[in-house]
Amino acid sequence: MYPVAGGRRAGIVPVHVAIIMDGNGRWAASRGLPLLAGHRAGAEAVQRCIRAAVAAGVKWLTLYAFSSENWRRTPQEVADLTSLLRYYLRYKVAELAAKGVRIRIIGDLSRFAPDVRAEARRAEMETASNTVLTVVLALSYGGRADIVQAALRMAKAIDAGTLAASQVDEDTFGGFLMTADMPDPDIVVRTSGESRLSNFLLWQSAYAELIFIETLWPDFDAGHFDAVLQIYSRRERRFGARPV
């Protein structure tokens, strides 16, 4: 059951959809398959999701691909996730580029192996001029860490005299975040029935519409993406103001 409020805004397409892709493990377990099979199926769902975003006219799609907390998982699972990431960065970026998709990376890439970092940067460079859809991969990303690094960078700018403390406001602070040149998400979706943000885009999601669905991520397809957009079209976004 999805919460719906306000009148329908027919034809409204969000600029930025962000997704917490959850449920790979449960999907695999329910089928008696190894965990890696769930992650592989989840990677296929990513491709379906990107195609659906392009078809819908969404301009930004941010995917929580690997959180800063995911490093706490077993060494085998981390290795499997990293191998999948390496494969898709190396062999699937060309397909996305042909569709006009630009790749952006946010997060702490320093924790990945040098070849993964190199593939990530190559993907960004080779797709930098594309304009149909920007896919932002959040890799080794944490919302709290993002806020902390922004505060540290801003403090250094103040110490260096390039920024006055009196100039600091929300817009100034936002300019130090990893997402500085991105629009805030209009929607944050989480699959698998869980109802929490799990340290994802905490600052940026202040006024996002939150949509939680029961579908496990490997089962997510264009129909689910369209359903999310339909829910969004019925939400009344007030940004703190009272309805007119």
Which pLDDT value is given to residue 12?
Answer: 84
- CB neighbour class for 219 (10 Å; exposed up to 12, middle 13-18, buried from 19): middle
Q: CA dihedral in degrees (141, 196, 56, 43; nearest 10)?
A: 60
For 47-104, write each residue's pLDDT tens digit.
999 999 999 999 999 999 999 999 999 999 999 999 999 999 999 999 999 999 999 9
Q: Looking at residues 135-147, what average pLDDT do you find?
A: 98
Q: Has 71 been labeled as part of a binding site? A: yes
pLDDT confidence band for 1 (50 / 70 / 90): very low
The answer to the question of residue 2 being in a domain is no
Which CATH number characterizes residue 117's domain? 3.40.1180.10
The answer to the question of residue 77 being in a domain is yes
For 8-42, write each residue's pLDDT tens digit.
455 689 999 999 999 999 999 999 999 999 999 99
Q: Has 143 been labeled as part of a binding site? A: no
Q: Has 229 been labeled as part of a binding site? A: no
Catalytic entry in 22, 80, 146, 186: 22
**Bridge partner residues of 106 (DSSP):** 138
Q: Looking at residues 112-138, what average pLDDT do you find?
A: 97
Q: Is 199 a residue of the active site?
A: no
Whether pTM > 0.85 for this model: the answer is: yes
For 181-234, write each residue's pLDDT tens digit.
999 999 999 999 999 999 999 999 999 999 999 999 999 999 999 999 999 999
Q: Is the pLDDT of residue 242 over 80?
A: no
The answer to the question of residue 1 being in a domain is no
The answer to the question of residue 52 being in a domain is yes
The answer to the question of residue 230 being in a domain is yes
Q: Tell me the residue range of the domain where 165 lies.
A: 18-234
Q: Is 186 a residue of the active site?
A: no
The answer to the question of residue 5 being in a domain is no
Q: Has 7 been labeled as part of a binding site? A: no
Q: Has 190 been labeled as part of a binding site? A: yes
Task: List all residues 6 or more positions away from 182 whose beta carbon is below 8 Å from its beta carbon.
Answer: 16, 60, 62, 104, 134, 136, 204
In terms of DSSP H, where are the helices of 2-100? 24-30, 35-56, 75-91, 93-98
The answer to the question of residue 69 being in a domain is yes
Structural domain total, the chain: 1
| Mean per-residue pLDDT over the chain, rounded | 93
Which pLDDT value is given to residue 241?
Answer: 62
